[in-house]
Amino acid sequence: MKHSISTAAAIGAGEKSGGRLSSSDILKYLPLAGLVMLVVFFQVTSGGRLLTAQNLKLVFVQSYALFLAAIAGAFVIATDNLDFSMGATLGFASACACFAAMVDVRLALPVAVAVGLVVGLANGVAHVVFRLPSFIVCLCMMFILTAATQTMTKGTSMMMPVSMMSFDNTLMKVAVFVVYLAFMLVLFEYTKVGKHLKAIGISPEAARQSGVDIGKMKIIAYMITGAAAGFAGFFTLIRSGAASPANGQTMTTDVIIAIVLGGMSISGGATSKISAALIGTLVITVLGNGMVLSGMGGDAQQLIKGIIFIAVVAVSARGNTSAIVK
Amino acid sequence: MRRTKFIFACVLVMAVIGTAGAQGAGKKAVPFKFGFSIWGTSDGHGRYVTEATKWAVKAMGGDLVIDTGALSPDAQITSIENLIQAGCKIVSFCAYTGDACIPKIAQLCKDNGVYFVIWDTDITDPKVKQIVEANPYYVGNTNEDQFSTGYDGVAQLAKLGVKNLVLVKYGIGVATCDDREKGALKAAQEKGIKIAYTIIAPEDAKKAMQDVLVSHPEVDGLFVLGGTESYLSPMNSAIAAAGKSGKVRIASIDFSDAMKGMFASKSLDLIYGGHIVTSTFAALMAVNAYYKTPLSAKPYKVHIPYLKLTSSAESEAYYSLVVGSVPPYNADELKKFVKYYNDGLTLDSFQKMVSQYSISDIQARHR
């Protein structure tokens, strides 16, 4: 209902403005414009180092795990929920994968994804079947997994088998990413799963009355984020060579920041889009990379990060006021 | 004529010798970019260590590039990648997130011909050590002697008459903390001190100390093995609230901003820390390698002494002479640690000069 109202309002606004860009159109393209401005700024301040082929490759590999996690994170956020256990799942899955790799390196990936899937299923079941608030469930899961990872790694970092270093191949990562993105995009935009998840985000009651199995859909959403966190955990492991309690520590907040920076409402709904995860992830990575290339001091780096995040979120929140209020 | 020739020859020889002797002073700095990877600069240690690296790099005519946010192995690698991409020919980092990501960093440095040095940590995993030490671009590391510091802390408390001691550990399985504890336990055994209780990583330090004071009223000593910034002040206020200020003697490792007030109120007896030069000397080790005048053909370790403060006057000296507006070493003093400027420098003399780092040494040089 809200979707149709806002769509009608948007159409009306478009008609009134006579084909010119409305304020909602501007807000829609603001994250992308922000990313472009950021790239131009750092290209200039870094003396042209930012847009070199070598650095673009770096930006891609540095943002890889966040890309994987943020794209999946959009599925849960679309339902107006958050998965606070994503980072801990990533850390736990990478530790399990590291142990599995010590038995046979071929086990690392399936174990990481399976662990993530089971964690996601547990989150979904606890929330849906036992009717526990998703926030509490995920927070508790985060504590459990963090403790488990601490125990497994004995509080320090654990080296993966040296033979696994060859897995960290950029070409392979590109191929996997293309397939992953295509799959998630189709799932989110063109299948019942994606549409139902967005419908739940707009209005759970309306979705229920339209025949959407809310419980099942929510469990699926958590399983997707869990599996993706496990997948990202595997790639984090082969990139760093280490399973560590610190792996994924900032991932949960990074996913949320990326999605919001990318222009998606944290309350989900019809405006949810995969592109938000892509743009937001790039903003975070380019910001970190660009500041170092430009030789900015340590204090300045933290200050600028904070200011940019607040500014973008403030502007995005203003544009999405109607969607946030439920 | 012969005599004139002889005098001329002597003058010439003396001139040559003189030039060689003064070589260091006349040499021009070779510009370079120095990459410094750290977890952040908003905490005291992070801020001071970054400043301490700046002294060295600036004195050597280099340009310091900083990357903050190395909080996980993945982020540590990202940090090093960014620094190399920024054109750094030397990178320096603390293996804060553990050993396991160092082989990847070593490979990155080798692929890009970048020298690297580790500060404030040892590589403990033998497998990692073997891989990293085989890398021609690995210079070495700096670290402090944790065992001896733990030992000395308890030995000093014993001299103050402590018989029943509370130890505070900031983690389990943390090598630095474990080594400090081993030293403390050895001293306790030798000096006949009873470890009444060991508090481990308390979330509420004040409450933890209050509980211990109730359950172990015989406690007359407290030794904080690290995490001082979080624990020292709340634990001291618990001791004060129990009316035991001065009766419970306190020692701690790692400086805290609370120490100034605690020394002034005479509630703190002893504190070890101020090892901010750990990154300064690591930088100078790497500069030696970059100038192709390495101090050793193999990777080496330099021991950094902790500063030991026992009074309000020493605490004030620390704030004015070490982390004040004037660094504890000036550019000329720092150049003595680089063979390019100081021909006679050896690894032994480097370590000897580093070992002199103390409040009295700084006071003497600042006079």
Q: Which residues of B touch A147 (CB under 8 A)?
A: none
In this structure, are residues B350 and B142 in contact, taking their beta carbons and an 8 Å threshold?
A: no
Total of domains in chain B: 2
* Averaged confidence pLDDT in chain A: 87
What proportion of chain B, given as a percentage, has pLDDT over 70? 92
User: Which residue does chain B place closest to A239, by CA atoms?
Assistant: B74
Determine the structural domain holding residue A259 and report its residue range. Answer: 24-316
| Structural domain includes residue A99 | yes
Higher pLDDT, B138 or A324: B138
pLDDT digits (tens, 9 = 90+) for B300-316: 999 999 999 999 999 99
| Structural domain includes residue A276 | yes
| Structural domain includes residue A321 | no
In this prediction the ipTM stands at: 0.83
| B74 shares its domain with B204 | no
CATH number of residue B354's parent domain? 3.40.50.2300
CATH number of residue A212's parent domain? 1.10.3470
| B174 shares its domain with B227 | yes
Going by pLDDT thresholds of 50, 70 and 90, the confidence category of residue A8 is very low
pLDDT at B348 > cutoff 80:
yes
Cα separation, B121 vs A275, whole angstroms: 42
| B254 shares its domain with B127 | no
> Which residues touch A57 (CB under 8 Å, ≥6 apart)?
A170
| Structural domain includes residue B320 | no
pLDDT at B152 > cutoff 80:
yes
Whether residues B74 and A65 touch (CB distance < 8 A) is answered with yes
| B75 shares its domain with B151 | no
Sign for the CA dihedral angle at B173, B183, B328, B231 comes to positive
| Structural domain includes residue A18 | no
Boundary residue ending a domain (B273, B288, B314): B273
| B117 shares its domain with B157 | no
The minimal CB distance from B97 to the residues A157, A236, A239 is found for A157
Q: What distance in Å separates residue B289's CA from the closest CA in chain A?
A: 23
pLDDT at B16 > cutoff 90:
no
Boundary residue ending a domain (B273, B297, B318): B273
Going by pLDDT thresholds of 50, 70 and 90, the confidence category of residue A155 is confident
| B8 shares its domain with B139 | yes
Going by pLDDT thresholds of 50, 70 and 90, the confidence category of residue A44 is very high
Higher pLDDT, B155 or A11: B155
Lowest mean pLDDT among A153-157, A228-232, B55-59, B330-334: A153-157
**A276's tokens:** 């938000």
| Structural domain includes residue A326 | no
| B166 shares its domain with B139 | no
| B25 shares its domain with B134 | yes
pLDDT digits (tens, 9 = 90+) for A300-316: 777 887 887 777 667 66
Write down the pLDDT at residue B5: 55
Boundary residue ending a domain (B273, B289, B318): B273
Interface test with B, best of A240, A247, A281, A304 (most B CBs within 10 A): A240
pLDDT digits (tens, 9 = 90+) for B257-277: 889 999 999 999 999 999 899
Chain mean position to CA B66: 18
| B119 shares its domain with B17 | yes
Determine the structural domain holding residue B206 and report its residue range. Answer: 146-273
Q: What distance in Å separates residue A109's CA from the closest CA in chain B?
A: 18
Total of domains in chain A: 1
The minimal CB distance from B78 to the residues A62, A243, A298 is found for A62
Cα separation, A23 vs A319, whole angstroms: 8
Whether residues A159 and B127 touch (CB distance < 8 A) is answered with yes
The minimal CB distance from A247 to the residues B65, B74, B78 is found for B74
pLDDT at B217 > cutoff 60:
yes
